[in-house]
């Protein structure tokens, strides 16, 4: 289990083991706002493990005030997308290696996105100004969540059912982007500018019973990571298994844009290699 806070990570592990005493869980420190820590965590994992059956890229921040990370990227863009991309890239060889020894569908990657991807700027990804310096926090959040979906699509194209890698015996990996819905977590704690309004809205939705507890909010991610009911046809898609009242469960036009996904993957690979985070 990856966590930025050792204290909170340890507490989460203790809570899980209280319910499931036989669970063996190791804490892997990682701060998505610091790409050095992401690479360090991936390197540590690869040095100690010989197989990897699933990766859930879940952590994120939402509509936070504008800030740049020490690595020179806008905070939401790095936390929600770039750091997950770097982690996934480092772990892909082990995921592939594991997949070659098992039936299709045994190894999976889940990118947790959001219906908030509809808030991305016109055109989807603003390559000329990825920090979106003059835009509102929700637009920056939308762009990062859109990137999660596009990343899942490029991973599916490269490693999913019917891909060249899968046909060539390099291992088949199922990939999905998921919308967890309105979930009772502390994600909204850092919301900027319109924070009071969002807090009030959540209070009303909570009273109406439209916000799910955290365990139910994880259902779609768990389904895509481990369920035997998931099908090969669902790999590469945007999944919302458990419907929520009044929430969009479909992709925006930008999220369905294959050319945009290819351009984003090309930009990300070039930028992350140039900065030295991947080879």
User: What is the number of residues in the chain?
Assistant: 279
What stretches of the chain show up as alpha helix (H) in DSSP?
6-19, 35-48, 75-77, 83-99, 137-159, 164-167, 195-207, 214-217, 219-226, 258-274
CA 149-257-226 angle, 5° bins = 30
Give the catalytic positions in this structure.
Answer: 141, 145
Give the whole-angstrom CA distance, residue 278 versus residue 270.
9
Yes or no: say if 77 and 148 are a contact pair by the CB < 8 Å rule.
no
Q: Is 209 left (phi over 0), alpha (psi -120 to 50) or beta?
A: left
Whether 94 and 44 have beta carbons less than 8 Å apart is answered as no
Residue 203 contacts residue 197 (beta carbons within 8 Å): no
- Residue 196: HSE in the Cβ half-sphere, 13 Å Cα cutoff: 0
Rounded Cα distance between 93 and 239, Å, is 25
Give burial (CB, 10 Å; 0-12/13-18/19+) of 55: buried
């Amino acid at each position: 289990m990856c966590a930025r806070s050792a204290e909170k990570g340890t507490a989460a592990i203790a809570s899980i083991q209280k319910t499931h005493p036989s669970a063996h869980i190791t804490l892997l420190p990682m701060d998505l706002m610091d790409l050095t820590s992401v690479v360090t965590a991936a390197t540590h994992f690869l040095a100690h493990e010989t197989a990897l059956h699933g990766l859930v890229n879940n952590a994120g921040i939402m509509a936070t005030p504008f800030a740049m990370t020490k690595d020179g990227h806008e905070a939401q863009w790095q936390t929600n997308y770039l750091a997950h991309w770097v982690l996934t890239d480092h772990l892909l060889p082990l995921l592939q290696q594991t997949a070659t020894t098992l039936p299709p569908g045994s190894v999976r990657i889940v990118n947790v996105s959001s219906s908030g991807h509809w808030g991305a700027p016109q055109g989807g990804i603003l390559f000329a100004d990825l920090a979106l310096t003059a835009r509102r926090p929700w637009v920056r959040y939308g762009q990062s969540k859109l990137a999660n979906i596009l990343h899942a699509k490029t991973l599916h194209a490269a490693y999913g059912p019917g891909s060249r890698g899968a046909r060539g015996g390099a291992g088949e990996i199922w990939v999905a982007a998921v919308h967890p819905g309105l979930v009772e977590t502390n994600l909204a704690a850092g919301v900027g500018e319109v924070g009071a309004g969002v807090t009030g809205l959540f209070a009303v939705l909570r009273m109406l019973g439209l916000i799910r507890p955290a365990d139910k909010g994880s259902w779609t991610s768990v389904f895509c990571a481990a369920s035997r009911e998931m099908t090969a046809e669902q790999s590469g898609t945007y999944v919302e298994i458990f419907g929520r009242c009044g929430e969009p469960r479909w992709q925006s036009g930008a999220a369905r844009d294959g050319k945009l996904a290819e351009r984003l993957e090309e930009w990300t690979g070039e930028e992350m290699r140039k900065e030295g985070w991947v080879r």
